[in-house]
Every structure is written in C-alpha cells, then in structure tokens.
Structure 1
C-alpha cells in the first residue's frame, strides 16, 4: 500500500513537471521571435504586410493543429500527442536554420506553430485532468511558467544571436535551433509517467454540435480570441514598433518586451487566487480593460509613456489561463473537445488579427503619406499598435456580456 502511494505521488510529480516544463518551452518558442523578426525582415527585405502575413501563417499552422489534436489525443493518448508536439517543435528549428528564402522560412515557422498548437491543446487537456482542485489558481501558476520563459526569451534571444561561432555570429537561425532543441527535454519525464483518464463528473457535455448552439461557448470564444490576439500581437509587434517608431536599438526594445513579460508572469503568479475569489468573468472584464487602457495611453503619451506597454501585461496575462479554468469547470465531460472548439476559433481570429495589424500599419502609412505627413511610417505603426489595445478593450466588453449571461443563468463560475 505504501509503495502504491509512493508511486502515485512520484507520478504526480512527473505529470506536474511535464505541464510546467511544457509551458516553459512554449513561452520560449513563442517569444524568441520578437528580436528575430526585425532581422528576418532586413535579411529578406520584407514589407510590414509580409511580416503580418508571416505571423498570420504562424497562426494558421497553430489553428490547423488545434483542429486535430483532441482527436489525436483520443486515438493515441495525450502522452504521445504531447511527445509528438515536442518532436515537431525541435524539428522546426532545423528547418528554420536551413531556410534560404522568405517562403521557406515562412513554411518553417508554419511547422513550428503546428507543434505549438498541438502542445497547447495537449497541455490544456493534461492540466484539466491533473488540476481538479483550485483550477483557476493552478492554471494561472502553470501559465506562470509560460510567463517566466517569455520574460527572459527576448533578452536571451537577442544575446544568443550575438554569440560568436567560428567566423561569424550565431544569428537568428542558430538561435532558433538552440532554443527549440530544448523541446526534447520534457519528453524524458513523459516516457516514465502515466496520465490520468478523463473524469466524467456532473456538468455540461462538450460536443461540437452542443457547443455550436451554446451562447456561452461563443462568448467564451470571443473573450479568448480578443484577449489572446492582443497578447500574442504584443510579443510579435512590440519590438518592431519600438525600433521603428522610437529608433530604439534591438536590445533596448527586447528589454521592454521582457519587462512586459515580467509583469505578465507576476500577474499569473499572484492574481490566480483573485480570479477564484471574485469570479472568472468579472476578473477578466476588469483586467483586460486595464490592459487596453494602458496600451492606448502609451501611444497617446509617446515615447515617455513606453513603460505602459510593459504594464499592460498585468491585465492581459490572466485571460488565457482563466478561460481555460472556465472551460474545465463548465465542460467537465469531454473537456478536450471544448478546448479544441474554443482554441480553434481563437486560431482563426489570430490569423485575421495578425494580418490586419500588418495591413493597418501599411494602410495608415500610405494614407498619411498621401496627406503629406512627414512621419507617415510612425503614424502607421501607431495605428497598428492602437488596434492591439482596442482588441483588449473589446475583450473586456465581450466579457461583460459573458458575465451577464452567466449571471442570468445563475452559472457564475468561480464566484
């Protein structure tokens, strides 16, 4: 009996290490692109619209992976689904290194985001099965590790690209190989662990047919999509914005993105219990609105208000893990299906959102130039980044409707 308890406890530690380690790797893979994008743009002479298209293609790969990962998990198990995701991510680093042109590097990033999408769904399913108590708090702590790696990723990436290897610097290609090779590490505990089966508790059953008819499910999609597109756009566009709008150097801009993720990380560490206490819907409504206000205020103030770009991370940080907690609680039966439905539609929004930002930047620049504005490029960047702040505000507005719907149905989860 003692041996069985010991084995169960050891297995629990392994499972927690996979979830926490998975989010740690996920943060690196997502956010080393910030310092790399200006260099990729310069190497391939790409326009802002092309960079927007690159990021949209990333989101499309992510979206595609989300559409089949839950099915894959049912067929081969979440253990091997997660392992496959880690292997694909490591392999994509090799593809990025070997890329000879903008099309091939775009394809390589597409492969990376296939792995990222698979990993996100797999980690969501794992976490829903492992963390059955204090779900909001535990999921925010899990995503704290995403925030931790995201905080140091831009600084580490900018530093690693300058490492001298032979006659030249490691560059963005070598940096991607190095960081994505870390994806192989969580496979080790996965091979020695046993994952729990899905528990069938009382609660709403998640099927695509039922979710399509569920108003709450669509409101959750709206909240998550607006919040996450805003969050991910900051990781993709902030460094580019600071470098081109304020003439900051790459390391200075990378430090600001790292500061954003520091606030982001600390918010997930300390605000998780607050979401359980005041309620999931209400907490998202308050904090996402705060993020949007900070972003728009930073643009209006100008370079002196740049710190507000970082502070906005406090508000946007809790959207994703808190929504995942809501899904786990509202749809305890077939949680993987609910996560897949929500994250897949979020992926569609990400494709559209990233492409729109690039178009808005170029479009506003052209219009401002036609009116004779001397700083048309900066005007375009501000309009594009302002759209990111607007998304956070719309996330807050959507969450108000979610809150009222749950209140009407007497289903305020977490309150």
Structure 2
C-alpha cells in the first residue's frame, strides 16, 4: 500500500502539469497561430471574391468595414462573457464560432450571405483576441514579457505565411475540384478546431475575483494610466497594421517598383517583425515594460523617417522598422497583465476596444493625408510630384504614430516612476 503511494503522487503531479500548465499554454500559442491565419488570408481572396460576386469597390469596402464592426462589437462584450462563463469556455466558443464561419463561407452563394459570414468571423476573431489576452495574463505570472512576446511570435509567424498558404490552397485541385477561396477559407477556419483539443481537458485559472477587489470599468476609466495605455496601443497598432496596407502601394507608386519586389519588401518587414517578437521578450523583462515601449517605438519612428528622407536607397529601413514596432502590442499586454492582475479581463477589454476605435480613425487619416497633400502639390507641369509628396506624407504619418507611441510611453514612464509603480 505504501509502495504504491509515491507512484500515485507522481502520476497525479504529471496529470496536474498537463491540465493546469501545458494545455493552457498550448491553447494560447496554438490559438495565436490559428488567429494569424484567420486574419491574414483575405488579401489573396478578396480579388477572387470581387470577381465571383461582381462587386464594386464600395461593396468590398463595406465587406471589410463589417470586419471592423464585428471585431469592435466582440471586444465590447467578451470581457463580460469571460467573467460570467470563464475564459476556458469563451475561448472554446470563439474557436467553434470561427470553424462554423468556415462552413458558412463555403456555402455562401450571395453577397449578403458572404457579408454575414465575414461579420460572424470577425466577431469570433474579436472574442478570441480578448480571450487569449486574458488567458495569457492569467497564466503568464512569471517572465510575462517573454511569454507574451513568444505568444505573439506565433501570430506573426502564421501571418507571414498566411498569404502564401492562401494562394497555394486556392489553386489546389482535389478530385477535379479546385478549392478556390471558398475551399481555402473552409480549410483555414476549420483549423480552429485544433486548439480546442487542449482547451477542453485544460484547467484554466478561472478564479473569480472577490467583489471588493474587482475594479468597475468606471473606476478604471478614472486611472490616467489606462488612458495613456489606450493612446500607446492605438498609435502603436496604427503604425504596425498600416504597413501591410500601404508599403506595397508606396513602393510601387513612389519608386515604380514591380509588385514582386514591393511584396518582397513587405515580406522582409514581416520577417523582421516576427524575429523581433521571438527575441524581444527577455529584453523587455530585463529593462522593464515602459522603457521597452519608449525604445522600440522610437526605433520604428526613426527608421521610418530615415527611409522616407533617404529615398529609394533607404527603402530597406521600412522593413527594419518592423523589428521595433513588433514588441509594442505584446509588451502593452504584459504591462496590463502585471498592473491590473486581478482585473485583467476588464482592463484588456476596455483598452482593446478603445484601441480598435482609434485604429479605424488612424487608418482613415493616412488616406486623407495622402490625398490632401497630393492635391496640394499637384501641378500641370509635373503631376507625379503631387503623388510622390502625398505618399511620403501619408507614410510619414505612420512613422509619426510610432513617435507618438514612444513619447506617450515616456509620459507613462515618468508618471509611474514618480508613483513608484514602474513595471
């Protein structure tokens, strides 16, 4: 009887390790990997969707706007669901919703059906972003910066290969049937079932914070630090996400690069971006979150302005800038996790929702600045100079967003240091 006791204890310890440590970590990492696929396969698919449904640019714009609307809507209520059902079941629901969306998109034969499927997919994406961030905040209690950056590295890795994977799948023929965009979306979104496998047996730390320790959203909004984090994350994400939409356009129109060369520079940006998330975590944990934000975002701003001023020979600096902006989002998440440990779900939901609103406005401003400066400098003698100056001004705004992110991080650094709350 006594001889079997150590074996039973060993078996129980091993089982506890799998259910309380390994499975939750796998859910986060694999979840972010699938998340990157679901968000970044649309680039190659959009032109084929446009052709199949005979859509004009306005209808495509509406389709993509529904993405943002569904995402923001999900961010607004997911925190409440996490508190009510627990992060485990919200994560599983998010993965299941995305898999269901793949089936719905496969059978979409009309534009309204497709629009509804896209809207539902981005509700799933928004829920997943909040759920994974909250889960990461709960389980990464040590070396938070390293673990958060590593989690987002998997997102960057899948984002890098997603366009190529989508293009390959759309050309794939199975039994005489070409998958095209419908089959591609079905396969990619059904991958969401994979992280559900460790999520079901996993035991997540869904500890209900006592009512007296929980901070209401209204009280949270009175904390100046939370608004500084909203500004930091908003401008950081604008600077990060805008590159995917504007770099190829800039290189093609400003320097007359062909699509292949311009896309290659975008791939180089994502390569620097992904590598930075792999190595920046230990640096963040060593020098502190806020100081890291100052340095990383500042580096991106400097690289972006240097690339614009240097002209075509300095174009490689656009790609190098990816190494600076990459750690900003996961570092902010790590800071939130440590500063608002007992209220991370509320804080993350609020900050990410506000960030989403700011990002929509920011991306609109890039287009408005580009068009406004183009018209201002346009002349009958040299019509190309107006376009060049407009593109430079629009891309300079992307760099300015990184600089603002760095400067507001400096303000946060000074504030937290004075209050002896520096992280």
Normalization by structure 2: what TM-score?
0.86
Distance 1:128 1:172, change over 3 A: same
1:190 aligned residue: 199
User: Where do 5+ consecutive residues of structure 2 fail to align?
Assistant: 1-8
1:10 aligned residue: 18
CA contact (8 A) 1:260 1:310 kept: yes
Q: 1:131 aligns with which of 115, 140, 147?
A: 140
1:304 aligned residue: 313
Distance 1:159 1:214, change over 3 A: same
Post-superposition Cα deviations, 1:172-208, rounded to whole Å, max 9, x if no partner, equal: 454333322222211122122221223769x985421
Shift of 1:301: 3.3
2:42 aligned residue: 33
Residue 44 of structure 1 aligns to a residue whose secondary structure is coil
Q: 2:344 aligns with which of 327, 330, 335?
A: 335
Task: Tell me whether 110-119 or 210-219 shows the greater mean CA deviation.
Answer: 110-119
2: CA distance, partners of 1:363 / 1:124? 38
Shift of 1:133: 0.9
Shift of 1:212: 1.0
1:44 aligns with 2:55: yes
2:403 aligned residue: 393
Shift of 1:99: 5.7
Report the count of equivalent residues: 410
For the aligned residue pairs, the C-alpha RMSD in angstroms reads 3.0
Distance 1:380 1:52, change over 3 A: farther
1:237 aligns with 2:243: no
Distance 1:41 1:244, change over 3 A: farther
2:417 aligned residue: 407
CA contact (8 A) 2:28 2:136 kept: yes
Distance 1:164 1:304, change over 3 A: farther
Distance 1:362 1:181, change over 3 A: farther
* Superposition map of 1:181-260 within 5 A: 181-198=190-207, 205-243=214-252, 245-246=254-255, 248=257, 250-260=259-269
Q: 1:66 aligns with which of 66, 71, 75?
A: 75
1: CA distance, partners of 2:124 / 2:347? 20
CA contact (8 A) 2:87 2:206 kept: no
Distance 1:83 1:239, change over 3 A: farther
1: CA distance, partners of 2:244 / 2:178? 24
CA contact (8 A) 1:205 1:332 kept: no
Normalization by structure 1: what TM-score?
0.87
Post-superposition Cα deviations, 1:198-224, rounded to whole Å, max 9, x if no partner, equal: 3769x9854212211100111011101
Q: 1:350 aligns with which of 359, 383, 388?
A: 359
1:78 aligned residue: 87
Residue 271 of structure 1 aligns to a residue whose secondary structure is helix
User: Where do 5+ consecutive residues of structure 1 fail to align?
Assistant: none
Shift of 1:246: 4.8
* Superposition map of 1:69-108 within 5 A: 69-97=78-106, 107-108=116-117
Q: Using CA pairs below 8 Å that are at least 6 residues apart, which structure has the higher relative contact order? A: 1
2:3 aligned residue: none
2: CA distance, partners of 1:227 / 1:75? 31
1: CA distance, partners of 2:268 / 2:398? 18
1: CA distance, partners of 2:134 / 2:116? 27
1: CA distance, partners of 2:371 / 2:60? 11
